Amino acid sequence: MRNKYSMLLYELHEPQAEVEVDLHGNAEKGYNLSKIVVPKELRGTGIGSKIMQDIVDRMDREGAIIVLTPDTAFGGSKGRLIKFYKSFGFVPNKGRNKDFRYRETMIRYPNANT
Residue 91, classified by CB atoms within 10 Å of its CB into exposed (0-12), middle (13-18) or buried (19+), is: middle
**Run of H or E including 106:** strand 106-108
3-state secondary structure of 89: coil
Model pTM?
0.81
Answer for the pair 38, 80: CB distance below 8 angstroms, yes or no. Answer: no
- The fold for domain 4-108 equals Aminopeptidase (3.40.630)
Residue-wise pLDDT tens digits, 41-56: 888 888 889 889 999 9
Measured distance CA(26)–CA(12) in Å, rounded: 21
Assign 8 a pLDDT band (cuts: 50, 70, 90).
very low
